[in-house]
A and B are shown apart, each in its own frame.
Chain A
Amino acid sequence: MDVETNRRMARGAVPHPDVQTYDEVNRDVLRALETPGKGWWALLAVAASGVVLFFGAWGWQLYKGIGVSGLNSPVGWGVYITTFVFWVGIAHSGTLISAILFLFRSPWRQSIYRAAEAMTVFAVMTAGLFPLIHVGRLWHAYWLIPYPNSRFLWPNFKSPLVWDVFAITTYFTVSATFFYLGAVPDIAAARDRATGLRKKFYQVISLGWRGTDSQWHHFGKAYIFLAALATPLVLSVHSVVSWDFAMTIVPGWHSTIFAPYFVAGAIFSGVAMVITLVVPMRKIFGLEAYLTTKHFDAMAKLCLFTSLIVLYAYVCEFFLAWYSGEEIERTAFWNRLFGDYWWASWTMLTCNGLVPIMLWFRRIRHSIPALFVIAIFINIGMWFERYVIVVTSLHHEYEPFAWGIYRPSLTEMAILVGSFCWFGFWFLLFTRLIPPIAIAELKEVLPAPRRRQAKEAY
């Protein structure tokens, strides 16, 4: 057994045993910012055309009217709100990983939190568009913002939609700040290696970071304060989004369980999305040494845990519908399982309840391809969860004669697909512009360099 192996075994506690020197970290991570491969360009091309589709479809809808969607009476909310909630949910785990795990000093966050935070910011940017896409008169949407005006008209602070405006904008502000602040030392590292126009760009956005003690001191303080500020937001934003539903009287929406249920679901879907994004990123940029099975194992456990909460929430909802004795409530949940949208509900239950059971197995948690597939399932399942909540509750409401069926239109589908491309577009740009792994923090957890043995040195 050679010394090197010994050393590695001794460092078994660290999440990335194959990373040895600080220089290695800089080299490997910053390589991602260099000339990309064809794969990246291909993905960017796909994403960019999707963005064109996205705005094209939106423009078409603005030109023709919201009628180009499949929405109707009684189903006034459909794919747009489903996708809104989906992306807000995705936006969760970034801040969770970066802020909450930071506060808890979790040992495995360093390699993934940058990507997760970027995901958060872009997911909020995506989610925030959907309320705008879905309103009938976009040009008046600013009325939801309280601003002094000569008509003395304020928004209705009783309306959960107004709360949404606050929740989403606050969350976006804080998570974007947090993301940017945390990246400043790494941007400086990139600046030091970059040349030409890129260098100029990094010079501006690294805010003159030189790595002095004083800067590190302030940075550390600011970071922990922001982490503390962001932590309650992780819980609040999706609680507020859930109140869009819970505060109404719609059977299937009106439920006190919604806030914790939505938060758990959000973390669940968010972590799954992190896995979905990190797996290809790791492959494309050769970051295998930084994103090891330990990271994936930890994320898989988080998925498993939140999937159990979500499954519990599903069971609770069905149980309470039955237990309440309210026929209308019972009918709503019966309809959810066996009504017109049974396929959506069963997709949801399968993807979010059954498939994650596999994560109990260590071998599966350690198999990256298996995790990737499971994560995709979870992403699909969580989209359908919101679809089930939004659509099945509305289409069979109180008034039987007004029951109806909703069929998403091509425009809605184009905007749904386009939203993934819009998100992916920003994420792809991110991987090329900001070091996708936190260099500075990673270095903190590397064992300090020691003198090498003479034999090795020579």
Chain B
Amino acid sequence: MAENKNMRDGMKRRDFLKVLGVSGAGATLTGCSTEKVERLLPYVVGPDDITPGVSTWYTTVCGGCSAQCGMWVRTREGRAIKVEGNPNHPVSEGGLCAKGHATLQHLYHPDRFSGPMIREGGELQQVTWEEAESLLAARLGSTARAMLISGRMGPSLDALVDEFVEAIGGVRVGYDAVSDAPLAEAVRIAYGTAGLPRYDLENARYLLSFGNDFIETGSSPVAHNKGLARMSSVDAVGSKGRFVYLGPRLSLTGLNADEWIPIRPGSEAPVALAMAAVIAGDDSAAAGPYSNVLQAYTPQAAAQVSGVTEDAIFELAESFAAEAPSLALGPGVGAHHRGATAANIAVMILNHVAGNVGRTVFYDAAVNAATSSYADMEAAISAMGSGQVEVVMIHGANPAYSMPPQSGFTEAFAQVPFKVSFASAEDETSEMADLILPDRHFLEAWGDSSPLAGVTSIQQPVMQPVPHFDEIGELISDAMGSKQTGDVLLAVANRLSGEAVGATFYEYLRGRHQSTYDEVDGDFEDAWRQLLRIGVADTRREGSDALELQPPDVALSFDVPTLDAPGDLTLLVYPSPRFGAGEFSNSPWLQELPDPVSKIVWHSWLEMNPDTAETRGISEGDIVTVRSPHGSLEVPVWLYPGIREDVVALAMGGGHTAMGRYADGKGVNALTLIPSASEQPSGVLVTTATSVTVTATGEHRRLASIEGSSDQHDRLIAPAVALADLGRAGGDVHEEDTHGELKELQGVGGFVPVPAEEGAPTAFPLEGSRHGIYADAHEGPRWAMAIDLDKCTGCSACVTACQAENNVPWVGEAQILMGRDMNWVRIERFYEQVDATQAGDLDVRFLPMICQHCGNAPCETVCPVFATYHTPEGLNAQVYNRCVGTRYCANNCPYKVRVFNWYRYTDEIPEPLNWQWNPDVTVRDNGVMEKCSFCVQRIREVENRAALEGGREVRDHEVVPACEQSCPAEAIVFGNIRDPSTRVSQISSSERTYRVLEDLNTQPAVNYLKKVTFHEVAAGVHE
């Protein structure tokens, strides 16, 4: 290892260790900002404040998207190995999405730049920061025509950039590939306030989403996911909020609805206004300045343009008014058509009329999220194209990929004489740059965030920057490597101003916070430490004034917008729940995370209604040419009952050309099909812009999907119970139905089913089984899990969390096509009731399937070598070293949760991605079986800690597996079920509790709680 050569350098090692004490008591806080400390070093002499084998945790802020969730980062021996949600953070409350987990892969990505580079003769040459900064200073010093294009950033960096741009006399353009601009503009027009509205999903009784995919994309997916789960799950008193989704396509959010009203794309405004009109009734002033608009939109007219019946709109309006407080969400980032702002205003009028303002929706300028205007970028492109810009700097954005090719960005950008990129890893934009000044990953850098007004978090570095090595394995020198953009800007500014030494960005940041700090609250130093330790300062004030609607200051049309081309299929282009607009595409975890809706990995697909496909003679997997007036592409078809027959949909995030090894060539770029058009008045990119023609190419491919069958075949894998049946025996089970015939047999000495109480995990092990591998399974805890399917939204955060925690490798598209996905958690998605032709009940069930840790496990008895066996604590253990690889256990597992290492998949993982591996978990070899372990390493860690702390008992909720920790919906609870006071015991005592395939007498330790539906649940075919 090249690291070894640095071991002799004792001073550096000590400097390095300082950094780790940032949040530790008494450590110096300036460690990270010193330029001396740049290397990871192995321990030769153990440092005092780090015990090898014991994790150190830091708080920081997730830099993944504009939601800015709070994060806890677990480091081991100086490396970040796992990120988790910070439970103290008011936005995410401990949840974290799959993208958040995957930010770790960007930290250790092999495609990161190893240091600043200058393009010379077409080739990038590595240079020192000294050279790079002086080049930039020289260029900026010689021209005033500079432009800085930036994506979302924290308030301090944002302020610094503003100062910098002002100092150099340039212009600044904000650009977010996915922007909530129509919503922000709607708020401004309707209420005259800035920022995005804040929603209280949790306390709504009736939630209406007009094509707003709030749990997967948008301003705060984790918070909204949590809100939805809390709102729509049945509570202790048997009450449950209803969630209705209006839109042409069921997104992941839509799949969680109780009712789907498949309106035509773009018809949200007429429907919302018609509803508002019904609710307002005779009150002609209910909608203030918009009252005249209401008169124009009758349910009849709305029914005509939206494609749903008048009755459906009436019923909807009545329920919306009756079930107060209700909440309606306007078209989100996946539904930006040419009337997106007006549609959002229409939904605000609806909320206003229904009296939801100040109850479930707040316009207190609270939410800071991405709201930049695409129109600004269009102006920037024309400026670049006409030669008015000499220097362009791009930070936190990849417009060469994320703008439609029609926009001409690439051509205009190419004409700029000097292009600077702050990208930390290669992408389509930095590929064109003349100077690359790689920013640090957010886990290596200082920053701050304010996701909500009054909420402040500090993004602190949790480790030394990941070192980079050159081709022969030599450590890249200190003078190179990555550098925080804030420091770069300060250094360049110093050069321009001729000052010798300036502040670091850390000092700048801290200074800003100090300047706004009120000393009456105590010593700033203490407060600052506290902020770093807790991760968040919450100074929000309760209450919100009831606002009045303002008359619009721009012309608004609430009619259904037009599309570019006449055609019978409208194209929806939506941000991917996994990749966003493509900024996450280079993460193999996310590439291999089955899309929550389609369950497809590694490639793109065109969503098409099965009936549409049938009439066109297209079958699933057929590769079709999708052609719009703006471009065409070839993509395989995936048949989806959750999309209208006149709509097809494509996700963003595919078809990268220069983003790195895991993104390039994977899928297609949906943006090639849409025009470069901005919506008025918000200026957002219009994504629902055009009709397309779809023609079969005659080619076919198998989809890389993990889905076997989306039909339960009446097997009650994921049963449900109607709300009305709660409290009574009911649901689509059970004894009487399924065992009728068998019970007859009992009369003649036949089959005797195991009584339910004996099959419960508490009964483990069964009487008479106290021998052999169950001999000592009678003492201590019995670890068990409860998964509430009424809460689970299928978001799949747990899948990636598990992958990160348990060193689960990714296997690539070819292996998935062979049926070899390795994930320990499989989110199953079953369609029960999906009708794209009319408004009606929707019933789609999600079920996270993991090892059930059966009390009477079929896998254990068949293993010839005891590689899988039962621990005294009821865990179904897998001893990798003992496994011979007969795969007999997997055959005999009815849940099919065992996955096999067909190759040594970890060999494929390049340095330094493997630095993320959890040292507490074995990296599995070729030829062995593996599966969910209930995070046994976490159980042991807690048990050991309890033993060290005077041999106390393990407390409830002290052991939290990775999936439970991550779950934004709070659907997963883990604990000792032998103790009746634990949460898992109490939740499992619900009448909704069942165990999957319990008729097999496997006695699973995972208790599922049935989903609760409003409609009656159809019984199985068991007559």
Contact = CB atoms under 8 A, between A and B. Distances in A.
Q: Do A and B bind each other?
A: yes
B915 interface: no
B820 A248 contact: no
B902 A76 contact: no
B820 A73 contact: yes
A6 to B, nearest CB: 64
Given A135-B927, A153-B866, A156-B863, A248 B885 contact: no
Contacts of A69: 902
A77 B862 contact: no
A161 B884 CA distance: 12
Contact of B895 (A250, A328, A398, A405): A398
B926 A161 contact: no
A67 B903 contact: yes
A140 B881 CA distance: 10
Contact of B883 (A66, A137, A156, A161): A137
A285 B894 CA distance: 54
A64 interface: yes
Central interface residue in A76, A160, A162, A328, by most chain B CB within 10 Å: A76
A400 B891 contact: no
Interface stretch (B38-46, B129-137, B616-624, B713-721): B713-721
A117 interface: no
B1021 interface: yes
A73 B889 CA distance: 11
Interface string A384-409: 00000000001001111111111100
Contacts of A141: 884
Contacts of B695: none
Interface string A244-255: 100111100000
A159 B863 contact: yes
A21 interface: no
Interface string A37-70: 0000000000000000000000000001111011
A143 interface: yes
B711 interface: yes
A68 to B, nearest CB: 8
A21 B735 CA distance: 77
A248 B887 contact: no
B708 A159 contact: no
B865 interface: yes
Contacts of B925: 137
Contacts of A325: 741-742
A144 interface: yes
A65 B712 contact: no
Contacts of B927: 65-66, 135-137
B892 interface: yes
A198 to B, nearest CB: 43
B904 A331 contact: no
A66 B711 CA distance: 31
A77 B903 contact: no
Interface in B866-894: 866, 882-888, 890-892, 894
A349 B428 CA distance: 58
A396 to B, nearest CB: 8
A415 interface: no
B887 A404 contact: no
Contact of B819 (A66, A131, A162, A404): A404
A250 B859 CA distance: 11
A173 interface: no
Contact of B715 (A65, A328, A405): A328
A67 B884 contact: no
B715 A155 contact: no
Contact of B892 (A137, A153, A249): A249
A401 B858 contact: no
A339 B1000 CA distance: 24
Interface string A9-52: 00000000000000000000000000000000000000000000
Interface string B817-852: 011110000101110000000000000000101000
Contacts of B895: 398-399, 402
A400 B717 contact: yes
B865 A143 contact: yes
Contacts of B707: 401
A71 interface: yes
A136 B926 contact: yes
Interface string A124-164: 00000001001111001101100000000101101111100
A75 interface: yes
B884 A248 contact: no
A248 B866 contact: no
B710 interface: yes
B238 interface: no
A244 B712 CA distance: 28
A69 B818 CA distance: 10
A162 B896 CA distance: 23
B891 A394 contact: yes
A72 interface: yes
B55 interface: no
Contacts of A398: 715, 894-896, 997, 1000
Contacts of A213: none
B717 A156 contact: no
A153 B925 CA distance: 21
B892 A250 contact: yes
Interface in B909-944: 925-929
A135 B896 contact: no
A331 B708 CA distance: 15
A260 interface: no
Contact of A161 (B886, B899, B901): B886
A406 B819 contact: yes
B1022 interface: yes
Contacts of A74: 708, 819, 890-891, 896
A156 B866 contact: yes
B502 interface: no
B865 A144 contact: yes
A155 B865 contact: yes
19 contacts: A66-B900, A73-B820, A74-B891, A76-B888, A77-B887, A134-B886, A136-B900, A160-B862, A161-B886, A165-B864, A248-B888, A250-B892, A327-B1022, A398-B896, A399-B828, A399-B997, A401-B829, A401-B849, A407-B818
Given A76-B890, A161-B888, 4 more contacts: A66-B926, A73-B898, A73-B899, A137-B928
Interface of A: 64-67, 69-77, 131, 134-137, 140-141, 143-144, 153, 155-156, 158-162, 165, 244, 247-250, 325, 327-328, 331, 394, 397-407
Minimum-distance CB pairs A-B, first 9: A136-B885, A136-B927, A403-B708, A67-B902, A72-B819, A76-B887, A402-B896, A400-B709, A401-B828
